[in-house]
Chain A
Amino acid sequence: MPTFPTDAWFQAFIVSINGSEEYRSAAADWEGDIAFLVQAEPDAHVPDDVWGYLDLWHGRCRGGGVVERATGERAAYLLSAPYTRWKAIVLGELDPIKAMMQGKLKVRGDLPTIVRYVRAANELVRLTGEVDTVFPDEG
């Protein structure tokens, strides 16, 4: 099982995205890459920020993984939160849209586009829970 948030975990996530008919339907017209900033929490064994990246295009993920900060910052959309918040989202304990409203998950990018694709965004985040995951603070 891949450990969150490693490159192996993001590769498993990409497989999950590309296997989802629901995501393919909801994001059929989506064009834009997304970066996921997992902010460091040394006490939870995540000593450095981790930048994940997905190249999303018309309901498919064309590639991605853990990238350098410069690559992540160039993405059209950025979702950022501390590690433990991401962990709660992956475990399905924290609703991502509710987290956005509470300021627990920060969003950067063209907001009208994000709002139009809220069903796709929800499905994308739900798919993180489909990945069999090991967490570094549960070792």
Chain B
Amino acid sequence: MNPGPGSVAEPSGITELIDGLVRQNLLRDPTRRLLPGDVVTIEAIDADVAVSIRPSPGGIEVVDGRDPGACVVVSAASTTLLELAGAPLRFGLPDAFTHDGRALIADLLTRRIRVRGFFRHLGTVRRLTMLLSAR
């Protein structure tokens, strides 16, 4: 799957960042993808900005703001969101066998990272983390 146009007229920083990360990750590994219905919103709560990611006919679309139809909403501080993208993964989730992975699991358990739809849409969560993973 190739990344789609995925841009708006004046994207916010988080949109530019996530759009660039998705594009560069897909160049490295074109097998990463979202499935139809995998609509996700990511919120940087300290910066009061949000971005939404969804599959599109041409690939993957990254747009400014919250998507009211998102089945998964990830909310965390800006630095924590980047740490999540940079964490080592195992089966699409933070790797509990690494220090960084355990730190993120602790953030999930203490709700420093909130993932609405985590259990109901676990497949979407795994595809999202793999799509955004910098590893």
- A88 near B: Cβ within 8 Å? no
Chain B proximity mask over A76-113: 1 for CB below 8 Å, otherwise 0:
00000000000000000001011111111111001111
Task: Take A107-B17, A111-B134, A115-B82 as given contacts and tell me if A102 and B24 are in contact as well, using a CB distance cutoff of 8 Å.
Answer: no
Would you call the interface of chain A mostly helix, strand, loop, or mixed? helix
> Nearest chain-B residue to A117 (Cβ)?
B86
- A28 near B: Cβ within 8 Å? no
**Distance in Å from the Cβ of B25 to the closest Cβ of chain A?**
6
**Complex Cα spacing A38 to B11, Å:** 22
Q: Flag if A118 contacts B12 (CB, 8 Å).
A: no
Complex contacts, B78 vs chain A, CB 8 Å: 95, 97-98, 100-101
Q: Flag if B21 contacts A115 (CB, 8 Å).
A: yes
- Rank and list the top 7 A-B pairs by shortest CB-CB distance, nearest first: A103-B13, A112-B134, A115-B134, A101-B47, A118-B82, A115-B86, A101-B44
Please give the residue numbers on chain B whose beta carbons come within 8 Å of chain A beta carbons, in ascending order: 11-14, 16-17, 20-21, 24-25, 28, 44, 46-47, 49, 78-79, 81-83, 85-86, 134-135
Please give the residue numbers on chain A whose beta carbons come within 8 Å of chain B beta carbons, in ascending order: 95, 97-107, 110-113, 115-119, 122
